[in-house]
Amino acid sequence: MESGLEELMPRLLPVGDCDLAEDFDPTVPPRTPQEYLKRVQIEAARCPDVVVAQIDPRKLKKKPTVNISISGCQPAPEGYSPTLKWQQQQVANFSAVRQSLNKHRNHWRSQHLDSNVTMPKSEDEEGWKKFCLGERVYSEIDALSDNENLGIDYLKVGFPPLLSIVSRMNQATVTSVLEYLISWFGEKKFTPELGRWLYALLACLEKPLLPEAHSLIRQLARRCSEVRALEESKNEEQISALNLIICLVSRYFDQRDLADEPS
């Protein structure tokens, strides 16, 4: 039996018989390397060849509770479900935008940014929210003050996703900023500033998607469907923008279970 076990479990570090003192006691902590190895040998020899787990069969009858979200998108309000032809056209347009972006990325990356454009660091969540959405949306200020000049202050209204900006963003930054904006959108309303940046970031996502990006865009589509379903004023422009994002996530990025079914 011992030779059979030896064949199945060969010794990585063969240890010969140790010359130990006559008063060696395996029950006390080892004092030398030889005593330690001898104690390991003794304990291994005492282990049974077969171990049977004692399982209470009554516990197997209990069904464990696992909370997993497998829900798709909520349907569009009645009369606002996009047609299949419209969805196919949006996917074609989006694909053309991505191809153009990839083709000219190096050119736009080499363009100088205006002196007022300072892109936040990738890990600066609050900085990116303010950069993309502007102080007014980020701080939820509804209107401009009366004495504010008419010039565009990008710090207040947010920087648009210019090609010279998004072309400088690597995939890690694209994914991080997408996560920041989706997190913000989870508790806030949909705005044109947010929509423009979401579209641009989706256009920058490389396929095949990384696992974190895959999870993010599914979360985004579900959130868009929630906001769309709660749209009381039935703002056609906003519903169309939400339809577009759901369409791109589901049909371009192959998340078909989230797609709007044409009415």
Task: Give the span between the Cα atoms of 196 and 129, in whole angstroms.
Answer: 13
Q: Which residue has the higher pLDDT, 201 or 16?
A: 201
Give first-to-last CA distance, the chain, whole Å: 73
- Structurally, how many domains does the chain consist of? 1
Within a domain: 35: no
Judge contact between 133 and 189, C-beta under 8 A: no
pLDDT digits (tens, 9 = 90+) for 86-141: 999 999 999 999 999 999 999 999 888 888 899 999 999 999 999 999 988 878 76
pLDDT digits (tens, 9 = 90+) for 212-258: 999 999 999 999 999 999 887 788 899 999 999 999 999 999 999 99
Within a domain: 63: no
pLDDT digits (tens, 9 = 90+) for 10-43: 555 555 555 666 667 777 777 777 777 777 777 7
What are all long-range contacts of 114-122, with beta carbons under 8 Å and residues at least 24 apart?
A: 116/154, 116/155, 117/154, 117/159, 117/165, 119/165, 119/168, 119/169, 122/172, 122/173, 122/176, 122/177
Within a domain: 211: yes
The one-letter amino acid at 224: C
Q: What is the domain extent for residue 254?
A: 84-140+153-258
Within a domain: 110: yes
pLDDT at position 157 is 83
Within a domain: 24: no
CATH classification at residue 210: 1.20.58.1070
Within a domain: 185: yes
Task: Give the span between the Cα atoms of 212 and 118, in whole angstroms.
Answer: 27
Verdict on whether the full-model pTM lies above 0.75: no
pLDDT at 63 over 90: no
pLDDT at position 35 is 75
